[in-house]
Chain A
Amino acid sequence: MAYPTDRKYTKEHEWITADGTVGITNHAQDSLGDIVFVELPKVGTEITGGRPFGTVESVKAVSDLNAPVSGTVTSVNEALATAPEQVNKDAHGAWMLKIKIKDPADMNGLLSAADYEKFVSEEGGH
C-alpha cells in the first residue's frame, strides 16, 4: 500500500493534511475490520494533539480517534454517521474532520508517508 505523500501520519494511525483534514489510515481500517460506527465531535470543539477526539468501532472492537495536532473543528463528515463503511472502502478519501490547526509547527512532529510505512511494517502489521 502506497501512502499518499500530501499528508502527515501519526503512530496511532491517523492522517492529517496541511489544511487540517483528518482521517485514519488504510492500515488502521484494515486492522479494525468492518467499521460500523464513527463518533465525531461537534463543529467548534477544541481538540488537543495526542488526545482522543472521537471513537471508531468495528464489529469486534472499539478504538479511540486521536488528534494528530491541536486545533478547532470547522467541519465534520456527517456522511460517516450513516455510511461508516466508507472508511473501509477508501480510508485516505473518507475524511472525518477538518480542523483549524492551532500551530502549524506541530505538523513537523508527525511522520512522513515513508516513515509511517516503515513504522507500520516494523510494528508487524496484521
Chain B
Amino acid sequence: MSAVDTSPVVRKTALNAVHRQMGAKMVEFNGWDMPVEYPASIGGGIVAEHMAVRTAVGIFDVSHMGDIRLAGPGALAAVQHISMNDASKLAIGQAQYSALLYPQGTFVDDVIVHRLGEDEYLLVINAGTREKDFNWVRDNTTQFDCNVEHLSDDFTQIAIQGPKAVDVLQKLTDADLSAVKFYWVTRGKFCGLDNILMGRTGYTAEDGFEIYIPSHEATSAHVWYSILDAGKEFGILPCGLGARNTLRLEGKLPLYGHEISDTINVWEAGLDRFCKMDKPEFIGRAALEKAKAEGVKKTLVGLEMVDRGIARDGYKVLDEAGREIGYVTSGSPAPFLKKNIALAYIPPEHSAVGSSVKVEIRGQGVGARVVPTPFYRRPKKA
C-alpha cells in the first residue's frame, strides 16, 4: 500500500472515510489527503464533475481550507492593516475577496474576508498556507484590541456549486437562500443543525454556496450524504480537486503558488480592483505605490492554444522568434470551453489580446494567442 496513507504528516478531513468509501482517487495536496476525482462508476471523472458544476450542481469537500477569526473592538482596524481590500465597506453578513500582503506588496495569501458581526471577521484562507497565515495575522495585529483565533480544525467546509446549488440547499435549510446575494452570508438551521453559516461564495466561477459545519465525522458524513440525496433530482455529483482546479482556471481565479506568491505583486497579478490604495495604510501599500510608479515587468495573461498541444504549469512561453519571455502558471484542457487554456506571466509588450506567442511543449514551440479573461463568465440569470 502507498506509504502516504498512514504518514502522520498527511492530514485528513472529517470526510476522508466518506471519499474513500465512494471510491475517490486520493492525492496529497498541500499536506492533505484529498479526493482528486470520483470514479466513473458513480458518474465521476474530472470532465463529468466539471460539467456538473457548469450545468447543474456539484459538491466539494474543502475542509482543508483554513479559518481565522478576529473579534473585538479593534477587529476592523486589524483587518484593515493586514488586508488590501477595504473591509470598512462590509456590512454585517457581507464578504469580500482580498489578500494578505508582505511589506514588498507580494502575497502571503489570498483570502475571503467575511464580516460576521459588528466587530467580528472571519478570514477563509488556503490549505497550504494555514500556519503561515495564522502566524502572520497574529504577529501583525498585536497592537489592536482584538482576539485572533485559528478555527481551521473546527469546521468541515463544504462547497455546493452550480446553477442548481441554491435549489439543492433550499431543501435542507429554513434560511431564505434566494435572498442571499453573491458574496453575502446567512445563518440558519441546516440538516437539523442550528445556526449554520452559509456563504454565497465559491471557487468555480459559478453560483454556489460554502457552508461551515462542525468538523465532527458523523455529522460531516450525514450532511455530505444529505446534500447528495437532495441533489439527486438535479444531477448532483461529488467533485474532487481536479474539477475544482479546471473550474477556477476557466474563471481565472488565482491559485496560491501559481498566479500569486511571495514573489508576485498585486499589479503583476492584475488584482488591482481588490486593492484599495485609497486606504491610508495597510501592509504592502508603500511598496505597491512605488511599484505602480515603476510599472510592471510581467503581467498575467490568458492564453489559448492555437496549435495542437496542452500548456502545463511551469512550461516556458516564447515569442514568435522562439526567445523565452515568460512562463505558464496554470495550464489545462478546459472541459466546458473545450479548448486548451493557460494563465501565464509575460512582459506587457506581448500581452495585448490577439498577440501570438508560443508555449514550449517537450522542446517544441507550439502556437498560442493571448485571449480576453476570464475565459469563462457565467451567464446572467434571465
* Stretch from A8-16, A57-65, A107-115 forming part of the interface with B: A57-65
Cβ–Cβ < 8 Å partners of B25 in chain A: 31, 33, 126
Cβ–Cβ < 8 Å partners of A57 in chain B: 310, 333
CA A33 – CA B26 in complex, angstroms? 12
CA A126 – CA B2 in complex, angstroms? 9
How many residues of chain A have a CB within 8 Å of chain B?
14
User: What distance in Å separates the Cβ of A2 from its nearest Cβ neighbour in chain B?
Assistant: 17
The answer on a CB contact under 8 Å between B2 and A124 is yes
Cβ–Cβ < 8 Å partners of A59 in chain B: 46-47, 242, 246, 332-333, 335
The answer on a CB contact under 8 Å between A33 and B242 is yes
Cβ–Cβ < 8 Å partners of B312 in chain A: 62
> Does A55 lie at the interface of the complex (its beta carbon under 8 Å from any beta carbon of B)?
yes
How many residues of chain B have a CB within 8 Å of chain A?
21
> Does B37 lie at the interface of the complex (its beta carbon under 8 Å from any beta carbon of A)?
yes
> Does A117 lie at the interface of the complex (its beta carbon under 8 Å from any beta carbon of B)?
no
Residue of B nearest to A58 (CB): B46
Residue of A nearest to B25 (CB): A126
The tally of CB-CB contacts under 8 A between chains A and B is 40
Cβ–Cβ < 8 Å partners of A37 in chain B: 308-310, 333
> Does A34 lie at the interface of the complex (its beta carbon under 8 Å from any beta carbon of B)?
yes
A55, A60, A124 pick with most chain B CB within 10 angstroms? A60
The contact string, 1 if C-beta is below 8 Å from chain A, for chain B 1-16, is 1100000000000000
User: What distance in Å separates the Cβ of B308 from its nearest Cβ neighbour in chain A?
Assistant: 8
Chain A residues 112 to 126 lying within 8 A of chain B, measured CB to CB, are: 124, 126
The answer on a CB contact under 8 Å between B46 and A33 is yes
Chain A residues 14 to 72 lying within 8 A of chain B, measured CB to CB, are: 31, 33-34, 36-37, 55, 57-60, 62
User: What distance in Å separates the Cβ of B48 from its nearest Cβ neighbour in chain A?
Assistant: 8
On whether A60 and B36 interact (CB within 8 A), knowing A36-B333, A55-B362, the answer reads yes
A34, A36, A124, A126 pick with most chain B CB within 10 angstroms? A34
> Does B45 lie at the interface of the complex (its beta carbon under 8 Å from any beta carbon of A)?
yes
CA A124 – CA B26 in complex, angstroms? 12
CA A88 – CA B36 in complex, angstroms? 17
CA A33 – CA B37 in complex, angstroms? 8
On whether A124 and B1 interact (CB within 8 A), knowing A33-B45, A55-B362, the answer reads yes
User: Which residues does B use to contact A, with CB under 8 Å?
Assistant: 1-2, 25-26, 36-37, 40, 45-47, 242, 245-246, 308-310, 312, 332-333, 335, 362
Q: Given A33-B242, A59-B246, output 13 extra A-B contacts at Cβ < 8 Å.
A: A33-B25, A33-B46, A34-B45, A34-B46, A34-B47, A37-B308, A58-B46, A59-B46, A59-B333, A60-B332, A62-B310, A88-B40, A124-B1
User: Which residues does A use to contact B, with CB under 8 Å?
Assistant: 31, 33-34, 36-37, 55, 57-60, 62, 88, 124, 126
Question: What would be 21 A-B contacts, judged by CB atoms less than 8 Å apart?
Answer: A31-B25, A33-B36, A33-B37, A33-B45, A33-B46, A34-B45, A34-B335, A36-B310, A37-B309, A37-B310, A37-B333, A57-B310, A57-B333, A59-B242, A59-B246, A59-B332, A60-B46, A60-B332, A62-B312, A124-B2, A126-B26
